Amino acid sequence: MERDDLIVNDSYSVDARHDEAHGKQIRKKIYFVTILLSVITTVEVALGIFIKQGTDFWPVVKWSFIAMTLVKAGYIVLVFMHLGDERKSLRYVILLPYAIFILYLLFIGVTESSHLNDIWLEFQP
């Protein structure tokens, strides 16, 4: 029976098999990332509870939320999803098209909605 999930000529996954010592090393990294993600989430929630929107600190907090989210996303993609261990070419094939497209989408979204907001404020009765 021909199955597409069977690896016939190339044996990449089978090659990825590792021994107990290597596994210990990987688990150590997993636990490190777990603690890191938990700490960042706790900090985010604490900031969200104690810093109110519209206060002087808010813009700093808002951008730090976005920065912390990107750090969390980076660890999930590169460590949990092992993209960091893949070949460089695959990394770029996954990340570059996505990044270009989303930066463009963000740009037009922010520009247009800000403009729309201005117009509505101006012509509101």
Partner 1 sequence: MAGEATKAIDKTLLWGGGRSPFSVSYGKMMMWFFLVSDALTFSGLLVAYGYARQAYTGAWPIGEEVFHALPGLHGNFPLIYVALMTFILIISSVTMVLAVEAGHRMDRKGVTKWLGLTIVGGFFFLGSQAWEWSHFIHGSAGYITTSDNEQYFLVEEVPHGMTATDVEGFALISNMGEENESTITGDKATSLFNDRINYVQGANMTINEYGPPQYANFFFFITGFHGFHVFTGVLLNIIIFLGVLKGTYERRGHYEMVEKTGLYWHFVDLVWVFVFTFFYLI
The residues binding partner 1 (CB under 8 A) are 4-7, 9-20, 23, 26-27, 30, 34, 37-38, 41-42, 44-45, 48-49, 53, 62, 65-66, 68-69, 72-73, 76-77, 79-82, 85-87, 89-90, 93-94, 97-98, 101-102, 105-106, 109-110, 112-114, 116-117, 120-121, 124
Nearer to partner 1, 10 or 56 (CB): 10
| Nearest distance from C-beta of residue 100 to partner 1, angstroms | 11
CB of 10 to partner 1, least distance (A): 6
Query: Does residue 47 contact residue 61 with C-beta atoms inside 8 Å?
Result: yes
